[in-house]
A and B are shown apart, each in its own frame.
Chain A
Amino acid sequence: MAIQFSDKKLNEVKEIIARYPDGKQKSALLPVLHLAQEEFGGWLSSEAMDYVASLLSIEPIEVYEVATFYSMYNLKPVGKYLFEVCQTGPCMISGSDNIVAYIYEKLGIKPGETTADGMFTLKTVECLGACGYAPMMQLGKYYKEHLTKEKVDAIIEECRRNAVANN
């Protein structure tokens, strides 16, 4: 598959670049990488990164440096739904270990693994700023907070329903 933004997305890239002074288009790198990850299957292939470099007139290495530094960029394919469960201090004392264990029980995946059908990936992450609403996970753009086993069940069900509806 050739990597190429739609015209609509290319306009978005232009709008992002316009936020910075002339000649400082490299500042657009983080937002444009977010766009690329959303558009090209939830992860950044080297092809996608090279494409972003060409859009911003910078060297590919400048993109690789950044993509490997920040934890939100996935450098390998991930499942359709990425469960990012926080495990830092405040979530830990509120029972995040139990949530990770329960997801393993339900889906058979440990942190870093993806289900065989490519539907779910489990990742443990460090503090997401939801300490008062722990335990929690990030799912796509939003946070799922005050997690319990029942809530995890409901989230998994909802993902499966959405996957069917979108097919």
Chain B
Amino acid sequence: MSKKLLLEKAHVENIRLYDVYRREGGYRSVEKALKTMSPDQVTEEVKKSGLRGRGGAGFPAGMKWSFLAKPEGVPRYLVCNADESEPGTFKDRYLMEFIPHLLIEGLIVSSFALGSSRTYIYIRGEYAWIVDILEQAIAEAKNNGWLGKNILGTGFNCEIYVQRGAGAYICGEETALLESLEGKRGNPRLKPPFPAVKGLYGCPTVVNNVETLAAVVPIINLGGDEYAKIGVGRSTGTKLISACGNINKPGVYEIDMTISVEEFIYSDEYCGGIKNGKRLKACIPGGSSVPIVPANLLLKTAKGETRYMNYESLSDGGFATGTMMGSGGFIVLDEDQCVVKNTYTLARFYRHESCGQCSPCREGTGWMEKILWNIENGKGKMSDIDLLWDIQRKIEGNTICPLGDAAAWPVAAAIRHFRDEFEWHVLNPDKCLTENYGLRHYADPIHVPVA
């Protein structure tokens, strides 16, 4: 059983309400930080904890905080990124829906550390009902003296506001998010300057994911060193994984990053095995942008070692044979799924979500979508597969934000590992409309554990 730091109390009845949350030990980290620590000491604990950004990039959060410029007389901002939009990812939603005060508590401590007296939660527009949940939690926190002026008599002032987006994946990119928060189109900014120097309204700003900010609560309660003992290597603490696709128990799980991928998929504590007794074909373990891997490379690394649910192990082998932890959006495909069709829907997603600023992404994503549609619908040519490879290579690294890479990687990985499935579509233009390629022989024999 994995240690739970974030969702431990998520199932306590009425934990959404302040009184219950407080009775269960909530807001202790605010008392500890504001009364016994300096802002720099809080940052130091976050650094020691080894906490890595939970939005997908995995950048050390404490280090990000320490980059924040602090010029005299200029306001600083903390912005919480709740624009969760990476296909396969629904963990932040779960946290905000079921234990909203944990996020508010983390935001108060983090605002104190960074010196933000006006903190924003930018939430994707579709999560409309969660806005109400968060605003209620904020109002309760304020009524009980955790927000507002002179919090706990320390002289620290802080307000938290919720801003609703309006449907744009790109606003999960931090500079696009800031543009959107300023009331503009979500076009990512050129970096440098980084938000830590020039962010919201041109002021120093830190943007962190919901789960990252919630994790500040156990870090302060336990101390950074204790938190860092949980997990393994540079994958410290716990991680929320949102599991979906063809599994028996889709949902959000908190893991301590020491369990194997095999255990995560087949154990009844987590995914509960593949639905309908089918066999595992492939998996996209960290949200749609990360490379898809066939079952044999998912459960074991290319060296034949057990693969674990953590940053290092999932990326073992690089993009040739590994993948990424990403946002923790764990998408499982069974033997009946078509990799070409799946790749097509993801390419369509990225075309839809490209902001249109950079030509390689704007033109390339639409081009890849068209070619993939042709192959999926029996209208593809053999040369299309190489053309796809060529296009994705020319998008990757040639755009000002990572959406280009995010669009390129799924196509590259699908061709890398499932090229024969693409070829089968081209060679069987009629059959591919009614049948699926299935498991066939695309990879080494697949180990199928008993659920």
Contact = CB atoms under 8 A, between A and B. Distances in A.
Interface string B321-345: 0000000010101000100011001
A127 B165 contact: no
B358 to A, nearest CB: 16
A131 B168 CA distance: 17
A81 B246 CA distance: 30
A133 B252 CA distance: 11
Interface in A41-60: 56, 58
A65 B184 CA distance: 8
Contact of A130 (B90, B168, B346): B90
B164 A31 contact: yes
A70 B288 contact: no
B125 A70 contact: yes
Contacts of A130: 90, 93
A30 B163 contact: yes
B165 A70 contact: yes
Nearest to A28: B183
Contacts, number: 144
Contacts of A142: 128-129
Contacts of B181: 27
B75 interface: yes
A93 B342 contact: yes
A99 B87 CA distance: 19
A75 to B, nearest CB: 12
Nearest to A70: B166
Interface string A91-130: 0111000000000000000000000000000000111111
Interface string A16-50: 00010100101111110110000000000000000
Given A21-B75, A129-B85, A129-B90, A93 B245 contact: yes
Interface string B265-302: 00000000000000000001000100000000000000
B251 A72 contact: no
Interface in A64-87: 65-66, 69-73, 87
A133 B126 contact: no
B166 A33 contact: yes
A24 B252 CA distance: 38
B182 A27 contact: yes
B244 A65 contact: no
Contacts of A89: 87-88, 284, 288, 331, 342, 345-346, 349
Contacts of A138: 126
Interface in B100-147: 118, 124-129
Interface residues of B, number: 55
Contacts of A129: 84-85, 89-90, 93, 124, 126-127
A161 interface: no
Contacts of B166: 30, 33-34, 66, 70-73
Interface in B202-230: none
A136 B345 CA distance: 16
- A65, A125, A132: residue with the most chain B Cβ atoms closer than 10 Å: A132
B155 to A, nearest CB: 20
Contacts of B348: 88, 126
Contacts of A72: 125-126, 166-167
B90 A131 contact: yes
Nearest to A133: B250
Contact of A93 (B90, B168, B183, B337): B337
B180 interface: yes
Contacts of A125: 167
A3 B250 CA distance: 46
Nearest to B243: A132
A93 B284 CA distance: 13
A33 B88 CA distance: 28
A33 B180 CA distance: 13
Given A89-B346, A89-B349, A92-B341, A126 B169 contact: yes
Interface of A: 19, 21, 24, 26-31, 33-34, 56, 58, 62, 65-66, 69-73, 87-90, 92-94, 125-134, 138, 141-142
- A-B CB proximity, top 9 nearest: A71-B167, A70-B166, A132-B250, A29-B183, A72-B167, A26-B183, A131-B244, A127-B87, A69-B185
24 contacts: A27-B182, A30-B166, A31-B164, A34-B125, A62-B183, A66-B184, A66-B185, A70-B125, A71-B166, A72-B126, A88-B346, A89-B349, A90-B245, A90-B331, A93-B342, A126-B349, A127-B288, A128-B126, A129-B124, A131-B88, A131-B331, A132-B251, A138-B126, A141-B129
Interface of B: 75, 84-90, 93, 118, 124-129, 161, 163-169, 180-186, 201, 242-246, 250-252, 284, 288, 329, 331, 333, 337, 341-342, 345-346, 348-349, 352-353, 355
Given A30-B125, A30-B164, A129-B93, 7 more contacts: A70-B125, A89-B331, A129-B89, A132-B244, A132-B250, A134-B244, A141-B128
